[in-house]
Amino acid sequence: MFSDGGFWITQALNSLQLAMLLFLLSVGLSVIFGLMNFVNLAHGSFYALGAFIGYSIASQSGSFWLAFILAPLAVAAIGALIYVTLINRMRAAGPMKQVLVTFGLIFVLLDTMRYIWGNDQLGLTSGVPFTGSTELLGVTYPSYRLFIIAVGLIVFAGLYLLLEHTRLGAEVRAGVDDAETASCLGINVEGTFFIVFLIGCGLAGLAGVAALPAFSAEQGMGVGILIQTLVVVVVGGLGSLTGALIGSLLVAVTLTFGQVFIPDFAGIIMYALLLAVLLFKPEGLFPARGRA
Amino acid sequence: MRNKLAVLCAATAVALASGAVQAKEYKVGLLLPFSGVYAGLGTHIENGFQLGLEHFGGDLGDNTIVVVREDTEAKPATGLVKAKKLVLQDEVDVVAGIVSSAVLGAVRDFAHNSKTPIVVANAGNDKMTGESCSPYLIRVSFSNSQINRPMGPYLADKGVKKVYLMAPDYAAGHQMMQAFKEGFTAGGGEIVGEAYPPLRDTKDYGSYISAVKGSGADALYVFFAGGAAITFVKQYADFGLAKDIPLYGAGFLTSAAYVHVQGEAADGIVAALHYIPSLDTAENKRFQEAYQAKYGKVGSEFAVQGYDAAHLIVEAIKASGGDDEAFKAALAKIKFDGPRGPLKIDPATNNVVQNIYIFENDFQDGKVVQTVLDTAEAVQDAPNGCAF
């Protein structure tokens, strides 16, 4: 099995696919965290919302692509509502209260989703693009997973351009580096934070709707993915795009190959990685702050 | 009107003739997860239970049944607190439900010591009708090994030589695989690999499925349920294993509760279960018609477990003549034909004795059709250390 080249390629693709999903989730969380020291534990709930809203749009309209575009926007809109009503008020409250409030928000959103979509698992049975599998580098691999990989890479490229080559990106980088100085220089850090928050919510929603055809929408999916996302953020370091990408890849490779080579430890191997990073590089591998 | 009056008179006459019958209010504590990961199953069982009371609870004479529901959240500690509340505060006569075997394990000693009968409507841990059995635990659902035992000889007889096993890493997963393995290896089969992914943390089975490809297996035998089953079946189809390594398993893999979500991915899977909605019996027809009319969904095996639990309790009330001790004793002696076919409680273990259906999923015209290929009749567990 291990001498078979196809095995390595398949597992590498599996890692990459999982990494892209984790990247979509963690990049928003990481930048929000890094920019404003704001921990949004309800971030996983936006992932679930993306899947459920995507399910409703796709099953009503019959078009997955419509869901793929509208669901992230809808999730960003819900994010805006939550920001205005709740998060904005908690900005000055300190991390402990923020954690408590967003922790409570998980349950509010969970029960709201249960009320709307019920307790049964939902999944798309028709209209899904890229069904079946593709021959790639000598292995048969599910086409839809290749699509997820492509989406992740495109989002990474887009965010890179946004951060490095636009005014908003410069403001975000300045805000992450030193919010107070940036503010003194006339940058509206609060406004920047709001936009970053919306982009983060939208990307979580995008991850949700992208995951829908390969997995299924079910209550609790947001809570389930949250842990892995937080591990990515801590491993990668706060506030940086590179950190989120490298963190996602590391966690995904560890999980995927760990499951195959040491299956008895599959449940804890991700935490071993977390522990190792915390011991040797407690600020994460690529933190945005303190590079100098 | 006159007819109704006549029925009432007749009922009264029967009640008077049987002597000591007094009007009694039976309290049933429905102990189910209404929130948490098993909330969906809790709803199915409750729906089935309510329908069972409607169908069978109508002719109890002066006796009435009241249902008190409590949410276990599928957590052992919460389940125990709620069980104590039902027994000590609400003073229920019988508890029904319990989805998670971990909750059943937590509640078992309390039920046994307080002599409160529990009609188990899901939790399948073999031990609960084996070494940890109690005269107060009556299981109307299934045991983990019962579902899987007929599949071992079935696959061996079909000429399948090498099988790869996969199930979540917890008691049910291991018990189900063990029961299959024993029958399969006794029939000359060989297990070429096993994988037990973590129960909650596994979101992606891609790496596990990829590993099966190179193992030399003729077939894959698995147990997954709920969201994991949907994900697994879809990913199995995505990786294109179906043409070389067919998928078999415990029937929860393609449960009626979610096989429509799996759709085409479920095509060709052969599995074993104690109930599928397409069984052709009068009792099942009645159940499915009423269930679909009332809840707008196909009745799953979980709904049937709730339905039969209600049926069992009603029959025990009828058989007991209003006496509490007689009621408790009667629960374990009931037999009837339910939607899943003939069913009785095994006096040696208090586990249900029932048919196991080996069925195939066919995807036709946008729907999954389940057809019975073979029936293992009256499958009964060995006592496995149970002594009352």
pLDDT higher than 70, residue A93: yes
Closest to A12 (Cα-Cα) out of A253, A254, A255, A262 = A253
3-state DSSP assignment of residue B307? helix
| Cβ pair B238:A145 closer than 8 A | yes
Per-residue pLDDT reduced to its tens digit, B247-259: 999 999 999 999 9
Confidence of residue B242 (pLDDT cuts 50, 70, 90): confident
Which of A259, A260, A262, A268 has the highest number of chain B CBs within 10 A, making it the mutation to test binding with B? Answer: A259
Which ipTM did the prediction report?
Answer: 0.73
Closest to B7 (Cα-Cα) out of B61, B52, B57 = B61
- Chain B positions touching A260 (Cβ under 8 A) are 207-208, 210-211
Q: Cα(B3)–Cα(B166) distance, rounded to whole angstroms? A: 59
**How large a percentage of chain B has pLDDT more than 90?**
73
Which residues, at least 6 apart from A6, have a Cβ–Cβ distance to it below 8 Å?
A138, A139, B213, B214
**B67-102 in b/e burial notation, b at 16+ Cβ within 10 A?**
bbbbbbbbbbebbbebbeebbeeeebbbbbbbbbbb
The pTM assigned to this predicted structure is 0.82
pLDDT higher than 50, residue B358: yes
Q: Cα(B12)–Cα(B108) distance, rounded to whole angstroms? A: 39
| Amino acid identity for residue B372 in this structure | V
Per-residue pLDDT reduced to its tens digit, A107-154: 999 989 989 998 888 888 777 888 778 888 777 888 888 999 999 999
Q: What is the pLDDT of residue B190?
A: 95
Closest to B234 (Cα-Cα) out of B208, B202, B205 = B205
Per-residue pLDDT reduced to its tens digit, A202-260: 999 999 999 888 878 888 888 888 888 999 999 998 888 889 999 999 999 998 888 87
Confidence of residue B19 (pLDDT cuts 50, 70, 90): very low
pLDDT higher than 90, residue B62: no
Average pLDDT score, chain B:
90
- Chain B positions touching A3 (Cβ under 8 A) are none
> Is B232 an interface residue toward A (CB < 8 Å)?
no
**Size of chain A in residues:** 292
Q: C-alpha angle with apex B304: B302 to B310, nearest 5 degrees?
A: 110
pLDDT higher than 80, residue A5: no
| Strands annotated E in A131-227 | 133-136, 139-142
Question: Residue B235's closest chain A neighbor by CA?
Answer: A214
Q: C-alpha angle with apex A219: B278 to A227, nearest 5 degrees?
A: 135
Question: Residue A114's closest chain B neighbor by CA?
Answer: B35
| Cβ pair B234:A216 closer than 8 A | yes
| Cβ pair B36:A18 closer than 8 A | no
Confidence of residue A292 (pLDDT cuts 50, 70, 90): very low
> Is B369 an interface residue toward A (CB < 8 Å)?
no
Distance from CA of A34 to the nearest CA of B (A): 27
Per-residue pLDDT reduced to its tens digit, B179-227: 999 999 999 999 999 999 887 767 778 888 888 988 889 999 999 988 8
Place of tokens 């809570």: A223
Q: Cα(B190)–Cα(B312) distance, rounded to whole angstroms? A: 41
Q: What is the pLDDT of residue B293?
A: 97
